[in-house]
Amino acid sequence: MSSAQRHDKTAVRLRRTLSFLLIFSVAAVFFLYGRNADARQSELGRLAVTGYPTTYAIEVAGLSWQPVWDARPLYLGKKNKRRFNTVENRWTAFESARRAGQERTALAYASSLVLDPKASNYAGEALRYLQDHGVNLSFFLLGVVQLPNQDHPLSDALYGAADLLVLHASPKLFPIFLAWLRSSDNYLKSRAILALGIIGYRPMDNRSLFPGLPVNLRSNGISADLRGMIRQAVKEGLKDGCYRVRAASAIAVALLQADDDYLRLAKLLKDPAYLQQETGTKKVFQIEFPVREAAAAALKWLNQPSADIQSGDFSGKELVQVRRGGHNVTHDFGGVNRKLLEGQLWSMDSW
């Protein structure tokens, strides 16, 4: 079987798995948004209360009505092979539509900038516009994640939307992240573990930032039962077969301050998974140990004994020594849609 065929099959399995998320989201719609009286004042608010997440995402992103402003269409290409216009054209159209008071059009262009890793310079401003103009960001992101696999830019933004949803994790979204844990997609599983850590975060010394995790942490005051479910999921993640999930679980342990799991963190300091990249210099390679680094950062954050992880550029005998007993996961894309990784909006030490 060719690499392309394997990737296609992975994509099909991913979409089938994600389809059942709709069941969870529909059940959560009223609970999440039904009490938002202000949102009822607009069409988008009505969709957030009465519609499906996918319908909401299609409307906000302009996928159904193909916005054009100042001769700069948001989408290019034929119906079944649409793609975003250039970042510069979308930003220019967004600013122009915003100044003209064309909210619906400006929202569509802004949403495209938020979901595009190439538009990182403009994403912050675009995100603020969405939030200031009544867009239920979590509902929109849920819709993007649940859209069927088709040839349009939102399909390619699945991992990016998942990244953003994690940064807005709350107890109300717990059923969604629980469904990701049960999926066959290891990228979504790793993001779900991080989300659970954020939901279950226990304040420590007034610290609200974990190194490399782009979110302000806060206590959510969850129940003991929910905390127990989260801790069990994280504990299982520490021994998962995918290095992405193990690394995410190490960070989640720190956020939860699950002291009975500290010993498991210490064991991860010897995790065999490593990533190897060329440096441009012959026979010199960059070596990173993502799980070890995550475990070391977690232990340090918890003020527990840690270790300095040997990551960097190596050659010759040093290269042989540092890789000894390790497992090269550089090309391990099992359970991950490689194409969708291009839409990743943020990463933790290359995973």
Do 108 and 212 belong together in one domain? no
The answer to whether residues 125 and 248 belong to one domain is no
Residue 88 sits in the same domain as residue 147? yes
Closest by Cα among 163, 216, 219 to 190:
163
One domain, residues 141 and 248 = no
- Of 81-90, 114-123, 299-308, 321-330, the range with the lowest mean pLDDT is 299-308
Q: How confident is the prediction for the chain on average, in pLDDT?
A: 86
Torsion region of 101: left, alpha or beta (phi above 0 gives left; psi -120 to 50 gives alpha): left
Q: What are the backbone angles phi and psi of residue 25, rounded to the nearest 5°?
A: -70, -40
- Does 209 share its domain with 92? no
182 or 35: which leads in pLDDT: 182
Please check whether residue 142 is in contact with residue 25, taking contact to mean a CB–CB distance below 8 angstroms: yes
| Residues 201 and 144 grouped into a single domain | no
pLDDT at position 342 is: 87
Shared-domain flag, residues 103 and 248: no
Q: Which residue has the higher pLDDT, 147 or 3?
A: 147
* Residue where a domain stops, chosen among 156, 181, 204: 156
Q: For the ranges 147-151, 298-302, 326-330, which has the lowest average pLDDT? A: 147-151
Going through 227-311 in order, the beta strands assigned E by DSSP cover 273-278, 285-288
Q: Which residue has the tokens 């600013």?
A: 95
Which pLDDT does position 42 carry in this prediction?
A: 55
- Whether 338 is covered by a domain: the verdict is yes
In a domain, 177, yes or no: no
201 and 251, same domain (yes or no): yes
pLDDT at 214 over 70: yes
Q: Is residue 183 part of a domain?
A: no
What is the predicted pLDDT for the residue at 36?
A: 40
User: Lowest mean pLDDT: which of 12-21, 163-172, 251-260, 324-333?
Assistant: 12-21
pLDDT at 32: 42
Min mean pLDDT across 36-45, 47-56, 257-266 is at 36-45
How many domains are contained in the chain? 2
DSSP states of 293-344: HHHHHHHHHTT--------EEE-HHHHHHHHTT-EE-TT--TTS-TGGGGG-
> If residue 127 lies in a helix (H) or strand (E), which one and from where to where?
helix 120-132
Q: Are residues 21 and 140 in the same domain?
A: yes
Does the residue 169 lie in any domain?
Answer: no
Residues 147 and 211 grouped into a single domain: no
CA of residue 84 relative to chain centroid, distance: 20
- In a domain? residue 178: no
Q: Which of 341, 52, 302 is nearest to 186 (CA)?
A: 341
Q: What is the pTM of this model?
A: 0.82
Domain with 328, as residue range(s), is 196-343
Enumerate residues 6+ apart whose C-beta is below 8 A from 228: none
Give the tens place of pLDDT for each residue, 60-92.
999 989 999 999 999 998 877 889 999 999 999
Q: What is the pLDDT of residue 23?
A: 42
d(CA 231, CA 225): 10
Burial of 4 from C-beta contacts in 10 A (0-12 / 13-18 / 19+): exposed
pLDDT digits (tens, 9 = 90+) for 227-266: 999 999 999 999 999 999 999 999 999 999 877 778 889 9
> Which segment of 45-49, 105-109, 145-149, 224-228 scores lowest on mean pLDDT?
45-49
Helix axes 158-167, 137-146, angle to 10 degrees: 150
- Name residue 67's amino acid: P
CA distance 325 to 313: 18
